[in-house]
A and B are shown apart, each in its own frame.
Chain A
Amino acid sequence: MPGVRAGICHLPAVANPLRDKTEILITPEGGRLRAYVASLPAFHELLAFLVWKDLKVQVAQTTLGFGWLVLRPMLNVLVMSLVFGKLARLPSDGHPYLLFLLSAWLPWSYFSGVSSKATSSLLGNSSLVTKVYFPRLLLPTSLVLGGLLEFLIVFLVFVALSLAMTGGLPLAGLLWLPLPLALLLLTTAGASYWLAALAAQFRDVRNAASYLLQLLMFLAPVIWPLSLLPQRFGASAESHWFTTLYGLYPMVGVVEGFRRALLGGGEIPWQLLGLGFISATVLFITGLVHFQRSEKRLADEL
């Protein structure tokens, strides 16, 4: 076919050669972690889009839509409050059990909801992951951010219930609430990164995760008060080995922090929060590293 449209190949110069051209390096190792993290801010619009997408998909598929975001946690809390508070008569340190439970359920439902969704964040988006490149970390990260909407709704419900049942809110507690909130985000992100990557590699992680999360809930003082334990967890507790070990489970600090801040009257659990931040940071960083390392294999595995 000599001569067929051969003339068209004399290309003119690039339209805008001054355009900023970043160079991408593709290697077996998938690049350095620092470069990976540094590339993330450029994708902030995509991240926002993914957050919005998750919410939309959640809301769009049901008749009640947005209503489920309020209804689901409320139904959970009501049932649990009936069973554990009224029937099992678990102690609640003198607070109404409903509020006592809700103050801990608020961070817990966020943690467990985001973590379990994270196990399907890569599998569920395989149509994207196998076709186009973007930092896969955005997928679990979008869940961490998107979960905040439901968190906010539950928080507002708590505020309403608290005002209705006790006639007030502990304002001093709200001042340091950002502390356990930051720990919550760090822990959830770390757990999500681990679970997302593992679930793509091993299909059974998805099933195992729901049981693990249930177990973890009973391990943390969500439905029962910390005061049930023999050791005290105050601002300056003696460093008993059990206290230290238990405090390394970051959700203990989160849950107890939220409870004391929202119900008022307690001191800031510095020890629990401090230990929690140490282990949550380890969880977050190892999760990040593991995720980035497994990212390059993802398309082959999905």
Chain B
Amino acid sequence: MTTDFALKAEGLSKCFRIGAVKKKRQQTLVAQAAEAGVHALRRLTGRISAEEKAASEHWALRDLNLEVKEGEVVGVIGHNGSGKSTLLKILSRITAPTTGSVRVRGRMASLLEVGTGFHPDLSGRENVFLNAAILGLRREETRRRFDDIVDFSGVGAFIDTPVRNYSSGMKVRLGFSVAAHLDPDVLLVDEVLAVGDAAFQARCLQRIEDIGASGRTILYVSHDLRSVARLSQRSVVLDHGRLVFDGRTLDAIRHYEENMSGFRSRRTWDAADAPGDQVVRLRELELTSGGAPVTGPADVRRPLELRIRYEVLQAGLPIMPSLHLYDFGGTPVLSGVDLHPEWHGQARGSGVYETVVVIPGNLFHEGNFQLAVALSTMEPFHCHVYVHNALAFWVYDPLEGDSTRGQFRGDLKGYFRPEMDWQTERVGG
């Protein structure tokens, strides 16, 4: 018998009955009893169809098997609704699986969504002790860690204020701080980086990294693939409740990007479903780097080429292509407009056109970007095509020392990291 696993899930499934739970809230006991009776009758008389049954069921997780060894840090990747959060909720025993089982060795702490389990009427201090008690820590143990927890959270003087008066950021900071200092054997972390300011996020990541390095087992869920890659060597990919990949994190990210994410290097549209109107329609988009398709990772140093192919249906109008970049949170990052004199402001004949725009290398900082493309006419301004989240890519730095990072490997902020002209001369002394 091997005893070195910290967490082992076998055949794990979770089925939600759509509507059933939601309805229950508003329904009265009588109405519900009546409905249950009708339902039972219909089932008895075989009047409930298989489709009806399938339609009312949603499998958030399906037959998931996962073994995590003691001391392993495992990332969980997947798009929204892929079952990541459900998995963590089952592991943290908040909700029960429909089938299957999980064995967890040792004390487990979880950090799910905002604020962990805080009681709004209690002060920050009391909530720290409450959470510690929930985790099974004795008062004495908590007291020893208390100052570290408060220091880390930066909540400071508000520690004796009821948590209801905390900002959501403070709640998250204190919540993370508690979970991160309670020294659990297994730590479940879900999307902590979705909230809180950048400086705190960086500290969180560092802390998780330290916990992982001290031999604790961590299951880390995040949309931020960069942080997953930083923290864990092994990752699993979930898709529609199924575990579709389990292996090295970099391979997992690649798998995710190639198969499921919005990370696409090329999109084409038929004449029938091409976005646009009777003036112009978008037919194809392709993102390449040095001629090779960019499926996800794009080297920070290299320029990117975006090829836009479109069909002009109504002649005599000046068509102006433009591109718009957003981060994954939807914040606009930049816009670019085709002002090349050959076509700008010039009426075009009908036909298929191809515009290529080169986005220079050494422009972006590492991060995820999504790309929107628009085709407009001016005077009066009219946007004929706008495709949001048309393609997406992420910029990485291979850290070979020749990017604008130089030799620095730590955390940097922002969207851009262009090459700039720096000049220094000694002017005195």
Would you call A134 an interface residue if the criterion is a C-beta within 8 Å of the partner chain's C-beta atoms?
A: yes
List A246-302 residues whose CB lies under 8 Å from chain B. 296-297, 299-301
Cβ contact of A23, chosen from B104, B112, B122, B397, cutoff 8 A:
B104
In the complex where A11-B215, A26-B104 touch, is A3 in contact with B398 (Cβ < 8 A)?
yes
Instruction: Tell me whether B214 is interfacial, beta carbon within 8 Å.
Output: yes
Instruction: Identify the closest chain A residue to B179 (Cβ).
Output: A132
**If the complex has contacts A8-B213, A132-B94, A300-B16, are A204 and B29 also in contact, measured as CB distance less than 8 A?**
yes
Contact A45 B133 (CB under 8 A): yes
Known: A1-B229, A45-B139, A133-B94. A27 touches B130 (CB 8 A): no
B contacts with A, residue count (CB < 8 A): 72
CB distance from B138 to the nearest CB of A (A): 6
Please state if A125 and B119 are interface contacts (CB–CB under 8 Å).
yes
Smallest CB separation, B135 vs chain A (Å)? 8
Q: Which residues of B contact A15 (CB under 8 A)?
A: 214-215
A60 within 8 A of B: yes
The interface on chain A, measured as residues whose beta carbon lies within 8 A of the other chain's beta carbons, has a size of: 54
B214 touches A12 (CB 8 A): yes
Tell me whether B29 and A202 are in contact (CB under 8 A).
yes
Q: Which residues of B contact A88 (CB under 8 A)?
A: none
CB nearest neighbor in A for B70? A14
In residues 69-126 of chain B, which contact A (Cβ within 8 Å)?
Answer: 70-73, 89-108, 110, 112-113, 115-122, 126
Partner of A21, one of B101, B105, B118, B366: B105
CB of A296 within 8 A of CB of B95, answer: yes
For the complex, what is the distance from the CA of A60 to the CA of B73, rounded to whole Å?
43
Shortest Cβ distance from A117 into chain B, in angstroms?
A: 15
B90 touches A26 (CB 8 A): yes
Residue A201 is within 8 A (CB to CB) of chain B in the complex: yes
Q: Does A164 contact B (CB under 8 A)?
A: no
Partner of A132, one of B90, B116, B214: B116
CA distance A299 to B117 in the complex (A): 13
Q: Which residues of B contact A30 (CB under 8 A)?
A: 96
Contact A27 B97 (CB under 8 A): yes
- State whether B133 touches A12 (Cβ < 8 A): no
Nearest residue, chain B, Cβ from A27? B101
Given contacts A1-B398, A14-B215, A301-B21, contact A131 B126 (CB under 8 A): no
Residues of B within 8 A of A60 (CB): 121
Question: Chain B nearest CB: distance from A89 CB in Å?
Answer: 40
Whether B302 is near chain A, meaning CB under 8 Å from some CB there, is: no
Q: Once bound together, how far apart are the Cα atoms of A134 and B117, in whole Å? A: 11
Tell whether A128 is near chain B: CB-to-CB under 8 Å. Answer: yes
- A5 surroundings in chain B (CB, below 8 A): 230, 409
* Residue numbers in B under 8 Å from A6 (CB-CB): 233
A300 CB contact (under 8 Å) in B21, B130, B213:
B21
Query: Complex formed: what's the CA distance from A29 to B133 in Å?
Result: 25
Chain A min CB distance to B102 (Å) = 4
B136 contacts partner chain A, Cβ-Cβ < 8 Å: yes
Contact between chains at B71 and A131 (CB < 8 Å): no
- Kindly report which residue of chain A lies nearest to residue B136, judged by CB atoms: A42
Decide: A28 near B98, CB < 8 A? Known: A4-B230, A21-B105, A21-B185.
Answer: yes
11 A-B contacts, Cβ less than 8 Å apart? A2-B398, A24-B93, A26-B102, A27-B101, A28-B97, A43-B133, A46-B130, A56-B121, A57-B121, A61-B121, A131-B113
The 7 closest A-B pairs by CB, nearest first: A296-B96, A132-B117, A133-B93, A14-B215, A1-B396, A46-B133, A9-B233
Q: A45-B138, A201-B24, A297-B96 are in contact. List 18 more A-B contacts (CB 8 A).
A: A2-B398, A3-B398, A4-B229, A11-B71, A14-B216, A19-B106, A19-B185, A23-B103, A27-B102, A28-B99, A30-B96, A45-B133, A45-B139, A131-B116, A132-B92, A132-B110, A134-B134, A299-B94
